[in-house]
Structure 1
Amino acid sequence: MKEHQKRLQNKVENLENRSHRQNLRIVGIPEGCEGTDASAYVANMLEKLMGEGSFSSPLEVDRAHRMLARLPRANEPPRAMVVRMHRFLEKEQILHWAKQTRSYSKETAMSKEPGAADSTAEEPSNSTRSPKYTDGGYGWVILASCFVITGLSTSFVKSFGIFFRDIQEYFDELAFKVSWISSITVAVFHAGCLGNGFAWLPSVSLVTQYFRERRPLANAIASCGECVFTFIFTPFYQWLVDQMSWRQTMMIIAGIQLNLCVCGALMRPYQPQKKYLTFTPSSASTSRKDLSRTSPDRKKNLAHFFDLPLLKQPKFICMVFFGFFSAMGFFIPDMYLIPHAQNIGIEHFQAALLMSYWSAGDCIGRLSCGWLANFRLVKSIRLTAILITILSIALMLFPVAKSYTLLVIFSCICGFFFGTMLAIIVTVLTDVMGVEKLDNALGLIMFFRSIACLFGPPLAGLLVDTSGDYSSGFYVGGGGLFIAVCFLMLADYFLDHEPNFNQDTEKEMEKFISQCQPQEEAEKGKLGTDRTNGTESEVSE
C-alpha cells in the first residue's frame, strides 16, 4: 500500500511538472478586467495583441487565475496572472513573440523541486504596469455628455407628477389608468430598447470605462444631471402649463429632448493606452492548490448584451431582485409627490417646487456620497444598504407631513438619501460583477427593473383609487425599498463567501490526474516523446 501511494504521488508530481511547461505568467493586466471568465479574456487579449491569424487554430486557454496575494491598493501594480495554455507549441509561440517585442523577462530564480512554494513571485517594473484608465482627458467630455443625457432622460419622468392630475381630469380616468403612462415610459427606458434608454445605457458604461481611480465621483457627477435638470425644469414645466396647456408643454419638451443627438455625437469608444505586457514562464513550483482554484470553464459567450449565464451566480440573482424591488422606490414617490401636495391643498406652483427641493437634496446627496465613497472607508454595498434603509423609513413616514414646511423638510431628507443611494449604485454593481461584466449585468438588471417599473406605479395607483389618498404611493415605495435592502445584504453575503475550492488531498489528486492524463497523451503524440511513468513504463518497454 505504501509503495502504491508513493508511486501515485510520484506520478502526480511528474504530471504536474509537465503541465507547468505550458504555463505562462502575465504581468500587467488590470485588476478586474478578466471578469468571471479569465480564460476567455486572456485568449481574446492574446489574439488581439499578436494579431489575427497568428495561430493556426483558435487559441485555447485551459486555466487562468491571479496569483494568490492580497488585492493591490490604488497605486500598486496588479497581481500577475498564471495562465495554462492548451497547447505547448502555442505557449512557445507566445514567448517567441514576447521576446521579439522586447517585453520578455526571465525570473531571477526558479525552484526545481516539485511541490515547493513559489519563492520568486516577480513584481512588474514601471514599464510593464497595466494600462491605467485615463481618469481625465476626453473622459471629461464623456462625463459632461453623460451628465446632460441623464438629465434629459430622467427629468421628464420625475416631473410627470405635474401633468398627472391634468391628464386625469382631461380624460376623466382613475389614477390606476393614468399611472400606466409613466410606468410604460419608465419600463421602456429601463429596458433600453427604445427612446432615451438607447442613449443612457452606453453613456453610463463609457463613464465607467474612462474613469477608475475617480469612478465613484465620476458616477456621482454624471448622475447629478438628473437632479440639476429636474430642479430647473420642474418649475419651468409648471410655468408652461399655467401659461399654455399641458399638450403644448409636451411639444416643447419633445424639442428639448433633441439635444440627446448632440451628446451622442460626442461619444467615443474607450481605447486604453498601449503598453507592453510582460510574459514569464510560470515556475514548476506552482502548487496544485493554486491550479484547483481556477475555473475549468472555457466556453466563450457570444451574447454581448444578455449574458444569461450570469443568472447562475447567486450574487447576481440577488442584485436582480434588488433592482426589481428598488425600482418601486425610485419612481413611485416622484410620481405622487406633486399630486399628494395638490390633494392636501397646496397651490400648484408651490407643489411643483417640492420636486425642486427634492432634487436639491438629491444633488447634495450624490456629490457627498460620491466623494465619501472615494475613500473606501466602508464597502460600497454595505453603505448602500444603510442609506436605502433610512430612505425606506423616511418614505413611509412622508404622509405624516401635512403642512408645506414639513413637506419641504421631508422632500429634502428623502431627496438627500435618494441621491446618496443612486450615487454609488453603479459602483456597487461594478464591485460585485467586475468591469468586464458590467455591460451585461447592467443590461439584465435594467430588463428586470423595467418589469417592476411597468407594474409598480399602476399597483400604487390601484391603492390610491381604493383608499382615495395619494399616501399609498409612498407606502408602496418605502416597502419596496425595504425588501430590496434584504436582497442587497444577501448579495454582500454571497460576495464574501464565494465558493471555496479547497478540497481534501485525495479528491484533489484524483481531479488533477483526470485533467492532466489526456493532455499528457496529446503532448506525447505531438512531440514524439517516449518518456513513460513508473511501473507502467517498464512493462511497455
Structure 2
Amino acid sequence: MCCSRQSPQPGDRRCSEEGPESSVFSDMANVKPESEKQSNGAEGPDGGWGWVLVGALFVTSSLVFGLMRSLGIFFVEFVLYFDESAQAISWISSIGLAALQFFSPLAAALCNAYDARIVVMTGGFLAGLGLVLASQATCLVHLYLTMGVLSGLGWGLVFTPMVATVMASFTRHRTLALGLAFSSIGLSSFAFNPLFQLLVEMYAWRGALLILGGLSFNIVPCGALIRPQKQFKSTEKVSSKSRFSCSAVLRQVSSYLQLQLLFERPYLTYSLAIALLNIGYFVPYFHLVAQSRQAGFSEYEAAFVMSAAGATDIFGRIVSGWFSDLGHFRLIHLLSLWTTLAGVFIILLPVSSLYGSYAALMLISLLYGFCSGALTSVSFAVVPMIVGVDRMMEALALLQLIESGAGLLGTPLSGLLKDITGNYIVSFMVAGSFPILSTLTMATLPHYFSCADPPPPKRGSHEDKDEGLQSELEQFNSLPADTSQGDS
C-alpha cells in the first residue's frame, strides 16, 4: 500500500542491526533519535553533497533522455537514407529505450555488489561508444545494435543509480531535487532539436552522431562525483561455506534485486500504471517532428515545436516539484492529474494541425510539454512511498525492467499505425489513450481515494523471514556435523 510521505530512512536500518547483547528498549531508544535526525535533514539529507549530485544528475539526464527525445530529428534522415518504413526506423529508438529499462536491474545489482561510481562511469563510456559506432552504420541492423543495444545498455547503467543516489540524499525536498535535476531534460530538448538539425545540415547524420557520442562521454565525470563509500543498503551476508552453492547465489541475487517486490500488489499495480504511461509518453518526442512536417510546416518550424515543448517541460518539472513538496495534495493524486492531462494533449497534437494552424499546434505542444515534465519527478517520488526508502533503488530498477516491454511497443506501434493510415492522427490518439488508462490503473491502488497518506509499510517483514529461513538452514546443515562429533 502507499505509505505516508515521512518514510523511514536508510539510516534507521543500522539501529536494528546491532549485536544480540542490545536490549529491545535500547534499540527503540536508538531508532527514534536517528529517525528524527533523518527527517530534520540535519546530517546530510536535503543539503550538502546532495546538491552536487543534483547537478550531476542534471547533466546526466540531458545526455540520456534529453538526447533520446531529440532523436526525432534523425528519424526523417534515416527514413530517406535507408529507404525503410516508419515502423522499421522506430525500432531504433524503441530498442534504446527498452535496453535502458531492461538493464536497470543489472545496474542495481552491480551497484549493490560493487560501487555505483564505477557502474555510472562505465555506463557513460558505453553510451558514448554506441553513438560513435552508430555514425559508421551501413544498415538498420547496425543502428539497432549500436544506438539501440549498446547505448541503451550504457543509459541503463547510468540513469537508475544516479536517480537513486539523489533520492537517497534528500528527505523533505526529494521531489524538488528531482524536479530541478530533471529540468535539464526539457532544457536539452529545447536546445538539442535546432542544434541537431543544424548539425545534420552541416555534417550529415553521420557527423552529427559522432558529435553526440563525444557529448555523451561527459557522463563519465558526472559519475565520478558519486562518493564511492556510500552504500544504498546492506545486502544479505552469506557464509563462506555456502557462498558458491546454487541456493546461496540465488539468495544473493534475490537480496540484490529485492525480487519479493514482484509479489506485492501495490508495487505491481503502480508498475503496470507506469508501464501503460510509458507506451504513449515518448511517441510525440519521436514522431511529432515528422507529423509537423507532414502537416506542411518547414524543417525548422517542426523542430521548434519540440523545442517549445521542451521549454515548458522545464517549468513543469520545477513547478511540480516545488508544489508537490508543499504537501497540500497527495503525490499519487497529482501524478494522476498530470498523467491524464498529458494523455489528452497527446490526442490533440495532430488534431490541432489539421487546418494548418501553427499557433494551435504550438499551444498544444506547450501544454503537453508542461504536463509531461510535471509528471516525471512525481512518478519517481511516489516509489519510496510505496516500498520504503531502503528498497528504493531496487524498486526503481525493477520498475524500469517492467517498463521495458512498454517502451519497446510504443513508438513502433505508432509507426505501424502511420504506415497503415498514411498519417499520424490515429497514432497519436492511440498513444494518448494509454496515459489515461494509466490513471485508471492507479485508481485501483489501496487507499487511493483517501485524502491523507496511509501509514508507512511495515519494514523488515521480508528481511525477518529471510533471516529466519537462513538461521533454520544453518541449523539444519549443522546437524550432521554435530551428530558425528557426538558419536566419536
TM-score, normalised to structure 1, is 0.65
* Match among 337, 344, 359 for residue 393 of structure 1: 344
| Unaligned runs of at least 5 residues, structure 2 | 1-5, 107-152, 232-250, 459-488
* Match among 340, 359, 376 for residue 310 of structure 2: 359
1:246 alignment partner AA: W
1:226 alignment partner in structure 2:
185
Tell whether 2:414 aligns with 1:486: no
2:8 alignment partner in structure 1:
32
* Match among 160, 163, 178 for residue 201 of structure 1: 160
Assess if the C-alpha contact under 8 Å between 2:386 and 2:457 holds in 1. Answer: no
1:98-177 mapped onto 2 (5 Å cutoff): 129-131=36-38, 132=41, 133-177=44-88
Assess if the C-alpha contact under 8 Å between 2:167 and 2:178 holds in 1. Answer: yes
1:382 alignment partner in structure 2:
333
- Aligned-partner Cα distance in 1 for 2:256–2:16: 23
Alpha-carbon spacing, 1:347–1:305, altered in 2? closer, same or farther (3 Å): farther
2:195 alignment partner AA: F
Assess if the C-alpha contact under 8 Å between 1:239 and 1:349 holds in 2. Answer: no
| Unaligned runs of at least 5 residues, structure 1 | 1-29, 36-40, 51-89, 99-103, 106-120, 273-299, 502-541
Displacement, 1:302? 5.5
1:311-330 mapped onto 2 (5 Å cutoff): 311-330=262-281
Deviations 1:64-122 (A, max 9, x none): xxxxxxxxxxxxxxxxxxxxxxxxxx3xx1149x9xxxxx69xxxxxxxxxxxxxxx99
1:468-483 mapped onto 2 (5 Å cutoff): 468-483=422-437
1:143 alignment partner AA: V
1:411 alignment partner in structure 2:
365
Assess if the C-alpha contact under 8 Å between 2:345 and 2:368 holds in 1. Answer: yes
- Aligned-partner Cα distance in 2 for 1:453–1:156: 16
- Aligned-partner Cα distance in 1 for 2:33–2:431: 51
- Aligned-partner Cα distance in 2 for 1:148–1:159: 15
Alpha-carbon spacing, 1:190–1:320, altered in 2? closer, same or farther (3 Å): same
Higher percent of residues as helix: 2
Displacement, 1:423? 2.3
Displacement, 1:458? 1.0
* Match among 381, 396, 404 for residue 450 of structure 1: 404
2:409 alignment partner AA: F
- Aligned-partner Cα distance in 2 for 1:353–1:421: 22
Displacement, 1:492? 4.7
Equivalenced residues, count: 378
* Match among 185, 189, 209 for residue 100 of structure 2: 189
Deviations 1:382-416 (A, max 9, x none): 11111211111111122111221111111100001
- Aligned-partner Cα distance in 2 for 1:430–1:340: 38
- Aligned-partner Cα distance in 2 for 1:375–1:200: 27
Displacement, 1:243? 1.7
- Aligned-partner Cα distance in 1 for 2:334–2:420: 37
Assess if the C-alpha contact under 8 Å between 2:175 and 2:322 holds in 1. Answer: yes
Displacement, 1:180? 0.4
Please give the secondary structure, in 2, of the residue aligned with 1:491. coil
- Aligned-partner Cα distance in 1 for 2:405–2:262: 17
2:381 alignment partner AA: T
* Match among 418, 438, 449 for residue 464 of structure 1: 418
1:263 alignment partner in structure 2:
222
- Aligned-partner Cα distance in 1 for 2:228–2:389: 15
* Match among 424, 435, 443 for residue 389 of structure 2: 435
Assess if the C-alpha contact under 8 Å between 2:276 and 2:406 holds in 1. Answer: yes
- Aligned-partner Cα distance in 2 for 1:123–1:180: 54
* Match among 169, 184, 196 for residue 210 of structure 1: 169
Q: Which has the higher contact order (CA 8 A, sep 6+)?
A: 2
Tell whether 2:292 aligns with 1:338: no
- Aligned-partner Cα distance in 1 for 2:399–2:348: 29
Alpha-carbon spacing, 1:124–1:236, altered in 2? closer, same or farther (3 Å): closer
TM-score, normalised to structure 2, is 0.71
2:204 alignment partner in structure 1:
245
Assess if the C-alpha contact under 8 Å between 1:307 and 1:440 holds in 2. Answer: yes
1:509 alignment partner in structure 2:
none
Alpha-carbon spacing, 1:391–1:347, altered in 2? closer, same or farther (3 Å): same
2:360 alignment partner AA: L
- Aligned-partner Cα distance in 2 for 1:166–1:410: 26
Deviations 1:459-493 (A, max 9, x none): 11110100010223312221111111111111254
* Match among 3, 22, 26 for residue 94 of structure 1: 22
- Aligned-partner Cα distance in 2 for 1:320–1:197: 17
- Aligned-partner Cα distance in 1 for 2:195–2:457: 56
2:8 alignment partner AA: G
Assess if the C-alpha contact under 8 Å between 1:210 and 1:270 holds in 2. Answer: no
- Aligned-partner Cα distance in 2 for 1:31–1:337: 40
Deviations 1:396-439 (A, max 9, x none): 12211122111111110000111111121111112122111211
2:22 alignment partner AA: I
Alpha-carbon spacing, 1:310–1:128, altered in 2? closer, same or farther (3 Å): closer
Displacement, 1:189? 1.2
- Aligned-partner Cα distance in 1 for 2:34–2:359: 60
* Superposed structure 1 runs of 4+ greater than 6 Å apart: 121-128, 494-501
Please give the secondary structure, in 1, of the residue aligned with 2:327. coil
- Aligned-partner Cα distance in 2 for 1:389–1:339: 24
1:243 alignment partner AA: M
- Aligned-partner Cα distance in 2 for 1:350–1:127: 55
Assess if the C-alpha contact under 8 Å between 2:88 and 2:412 holds in 1. Answer: yes
1:325 alignment partner AA: L
Larger radius of gyration: 1
Alpha-carbon spacing, 1:500–1:215, altered in 2? closer, same or farther (3 Å): closer
- Aligned-partner Cα distance in 2 for 1:431–1:377: 16
Alpha-carbon spacing, 1:46–1:352, altered in 2? closer, same or farther (3 Å): same
